[in-house]
Amino acid sequence: QSVLTQPPSVSAAPGQKVTISCSGTSSNIGNNYVSWYQQLPGTAPKLLIYDNNKRPSGTPDRFSGSKSGTSATLGITGLQTGDEADYYCGTWDSTLSVFGGGTRVTVL
């Protein structure tokens, strides 16, 4: 049972938009910043978004993040086949790093 709640899967056709929600509580998302990680099949997670909405160099601007209250959202526009992956949200609860259970994005 993960601390943060994400939908197990989302899907859309190429070129479309998907959003992934991440729900937490006041002790984690509500009082900390959120990061997002992309895990392509058979690879390690990679930092995609940090500080709720900042993109590291290398993250396309098709990826965006937002946070409101105790929830966060990752958006992917112009969906590509290469975006098929598992996506995890992460934040902190006191001194513990916590993650969501992951959302699989499927490009139809």
Partner 1 sequence: QLQLQESGPGLVKASESLSLTCAVSGGSMSSNNYFWGWIRQPPGKGLECIGYIYYSGSTYYNPSLKSRVNISVDTSKNQFSLKLSSVTTADTALYYCARGGGYYDSNGYSRYHFDYWGQGTLVPVSS
Residues that bind partner 1 in the complex, under the rule CB under 8 A: 2, 31-33, 35, 37, 43-47, 50-51, 56, 88, 90-92, 95-102
Task: Say which residue the tokens 């729900």 belong to.
Answer: 23
CB of 30 to partner 1, least distance (A): 9
Residue 48 CA to residue 43 CA, distance in Å, equals: 14
Compare residues 19 and 32 and give the one whose CB is closer to partner 1: 32
Compare residues 15 and 87 and give the one whose CB is closer to partner 1: 87
* Backbone Cα Rg of the chain: 13
Compare residues 79 and 90 and give the one whose CB is closer to partner 1: 90
SS3 82: helix
Q: How far is CA 66 from CA 32, 41, 43, 81, in A?
A: 13, 25, 25, 23
